[in-house]
């Protein structure tokens, strides 16, 4: 399989504290992967260095074959805009734009033609079940609808990889389940590579692979394989219990 993300001996240090310790990791194209770990394990830091939000202290990261060390700040910013999508817990929607305008904003900034934008928009909003709220504003829709809007905005650019940081953290259980099912469907239907940080074993059970961090190192990983989501959920819970620590 084609490696979408490859990390070699990645370290991250803040002052005298080493948060990531010689991480080696490969995420293949089309994988839906969760990163889990106790509070302070380094999971958010790992996502940040893989997504270029934060700089490495050591090691190297390749995304879709491109070494991120070879890019200066300007090239890195363009690479991030062109090749990555982001879904955050707090949505990051612009209140003065409609749902449709929020989703299309990344394409508008690139100067894409209107018809091409519409062609991309239609199947995506149908998959996420938000086609009926396109003319509404963020203040007029629910938290679940806001997160699906943010997901559509992340996917509309057809990124090489989508980074999702606790995407269900601010949602009620029903909205969280709907979003996870839709992300899983988008992963299957569009071949989207999704890397998700989560503290929640229920959310992680929708992924096909779960990577566990502890004290800045990868200590375990699970693959769903052919087992049911319920069975995978139980394995995640068992592994979480064995590793210990407060997951939040």
Angle at 242 (CA atoms; ends 37, 170), nearest 5 degrees: 35
Which two three-digit tokens encode residue 74?
Answer: 């300007």
CA distances 139 to 50, 125, 183, Å, are: 32, 19, 23
CA distance 194 to 160: 9
The Cα–Cα gap between 188 and 180 comes to 12
Q: Give me the pLDDT at residue 1, please.
A: 66
Q: Which pair of structure tokens corresponds to residue 220?
A: 């375990």
Distance CA 8, CA 29 (A): 17
Q: State the CB neighbour count (10 A cutoff) for residue 86.
A: 19
CA 52 to centroid of chain Cα atoms: 13
Q: Which residues contact 180 (CB under 8 A, 6 or more apart)?
A: 168, 203, 206
pLDDT tens readout for residues 105-115: 999 988 899 99
Say if residues 233 and 200 touch (Cβ distance below 8 Å). Answer: no
Task: Identify whether the C-beta of residue 236 lies closer than 8 Å to the C-beta of residue 222.
Answer: yes
The answer to whether residue 216 scores a pLDDT higher than 70 is yes
Given this model, what pLDDT does residue 215 score?
Answer: 93
Dihedral, CA atoms, 47, 50, 55, 61, nearest 10 degrees?
150
What residue ranges define each of the domains in the chain, with the CATH number in brackets? 29-56+82-246 (3.40.50.300)
- Residue 107 structure tokens: 């394409």
pLDDT of 19-65, one tens digit each?
999 999 999 999 999 999 988 899 999 999 999 889 999 999 999 89
pTM: 0.88
């Amino acid at each position: 399989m084609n490696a979408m993300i490859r990390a070699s001996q990645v370290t991250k240090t803040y002052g005298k504290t080493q948060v990531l310790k010689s991480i080696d990791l490969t995420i293949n194209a089309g994988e839906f992967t969760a990163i889990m770990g106790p509070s302070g394990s380094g999971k958010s830091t790992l996502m940040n260095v893989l997504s270029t939000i934060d700089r490495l202290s050591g090691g190297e990261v390749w995304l879709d074959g491109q070494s991120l060390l070879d890019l200066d700040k300007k090239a890195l910013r363009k690479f991030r805009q062109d090749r990555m999508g982001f879904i955050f817990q707090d949505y990051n929607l612009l209140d003065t734009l409609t749902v449709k305008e929020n989703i299309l904003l990344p394409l508008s900034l690139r100067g894409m033609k209107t018809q091409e934008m519409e062609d991309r928009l239609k199947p995506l909003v149908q998959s996420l079940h938000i086609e009926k709220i396109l003319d509404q504003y963020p203040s007029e829709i629910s938290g679940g609808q806001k997160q699906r809007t943010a997901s559509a905005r992340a996917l509309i650019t057809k990124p090489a990889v989508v980074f999702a940081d606790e995407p269900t953290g601010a949602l009620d259980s029903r909205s969280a389940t709907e979003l996870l099912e839709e992300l899983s469907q988008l992963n299957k239907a569009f071949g989207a590579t999704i890397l998700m940080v989560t503290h929640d074993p229920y959310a992680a059970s929708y992924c096909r692979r779960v990577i566990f961090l502890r004290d800045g190192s990868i200590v375990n990983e699970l693959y769903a394989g052919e087992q049911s989501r319920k069975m995978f959920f139980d394995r995640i819970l068992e592994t979480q219990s064995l590793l210990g620590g407060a997951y939040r």
